[in-house]
Structure 1
């Protein structure tokens, strides 16, 4: 399915996705209620949580593919005794493994305006890992890997009208809310490259994994997939 159709489908269902699309940003800014009050059962709440969180932490993979990736063992938190600061629910890292994907890194580094555009850049050979061209959006990088993008393919870099061959930065409308760099990435905009430092972790009162949803919402999604996984055994 074409990326534009996929993005429109998510937007029509009011699902927040990885995109600078103005309608998506509007939903991000105005979505204050997580649950429909008509949804009264725990299962309904779990299903809603998995729908919304999967919609955001999605990379055009099917539910069956995600179930194969799902890890029922959440990270063990290393919290020193006597430390009053509490870590968020470990379920906040439910989708942490997705951040190792090549298309996710390209988007998180602001080299593409959506996860769909990032996917196309990878497929069309505009992205390298440690200097080697890889055309697989689902490729999972290792700690310390360097991801580079062809500067002429970066969405915010354009050639000036004066005929100069040097690229200049041109802001894209509605990009500002996404212009943050997660702590597990080290981005160099001069070379259009990113170093993947480590998989996202939780910290006292915070989590490195970007999400518009609170850890408690992710916990409901985790319970949903945990139940699905057990039913398949």
Structure 2
């Protein structure tokens, strides 16, 4: 394990990352206070929620860069089902939804990279294509229908078989199973190592599409923190 990897996954901090690293899985399984303690002041709760959610959603992004992306306009929706009205989760759970349009996020969510840092590295090294053209900008926000693809030999789970041969074979990586889910807004073709970005994440009755280990209530606190800070400089 490299020194940089250790810095991302310090157990004492209990920060969950976008990573298959075994230390991250340990943190995910043993983290305390996924729900913010109610005996803290409102500001303390908002700050902790901001710290936790940002630790997972875009830790490679500087705060000033994130503040330029922050969108305070998140509607509250309700859907009528028969005689009952079933509320969507608090739409503040979509606070970080614009990040999901980033090229590096799509590479990680598609399971082509073992961490968000690995995904960023693949983009910078010219291993990623956007709509068929080599693309080196991990922070670029794609449009609906854009196709992101990765060179098969650079995909984390593909490797050449022992004894030679040109065909790549799928080789599961240790500790990746907990992160092997696909968001509904991505359409992934593992035969071509490509992903179509369909649309922004949505809330649906009883759930939110944005992958996160944190509850909508925690996201709501983080949203309030950033709403207060607005576009102020750090």
TM-score bracket for the superposition, by shorter chain length: over 0.9
- Partners of 1:20 and 1:114 within 8 A in 2: yes
Over 4 Å off, 4+ runs: 4-7, 35-39
What corresponds to 2:206 in structure 1?
A: 205
What corresponds to 2:102 in structure 1?
A: 101
TM-score when normalising by structure 2:
0.92
Number of residue pairs matched?
230
What corresponds to 1:56 in structure 2?
A: 56
Structure 2 portions without partners, runs of 5+? none
Cα deviation for residue 7 of structure 1 reads 4.2
What corresponds to 2:175 in structure 1?
A: 174
List aligned pairs for 1:1-233, cutoff 5 A.
Answer: 5=3, 7-12=5-10, 13-34=13-34, 40-77=40-77, 79-80=79-80, 82-229=83-230
Q: Which moved more, 1:22-31 or 1:210-219?
A: 22-31
Q: Deviations over 1:7-65 (max 9, x none)?
A: 43342222100000001011111224236759621100100000000010015111111
In structure 1, how many angstroms separate the alpha carbons of the residues matched to 2:59 and 2:192? 25
- Partners of 1:53 and 1:221 within 8 A in 2: yes
- Partners of 1:59 and 1:104 within 8 A in 2: no
Structure 1 portions without partners, runs of 5+? none
In structure 1, how many angstroms separate the alpha carbons of the residues matched to 2:213 and 2:75? 21
In structure 1, how many angstroms separate the alpha carbons of the residues matched to 2:110 and 2:45? 33
Note the aligned Cα RMSD (angstroms).
Answer: 2.1
In structure 2, how many angstroms separate the alpha carbons of the residues matched to 1:75 and 1:36? 24
- Partners of 2:50 and 2:222 within 8 A in 1: yes
Cα deviation for residue 77 of structure 1 reads 2.7
- Inter-CA distance 96–7: structure 2 relative to 1 (3 Å threshold): farther
Secondary structure at 2:85's aligned position in 1? Answer: coil
- Partners of 2:80 and 2:86 within 8 A in 1: no
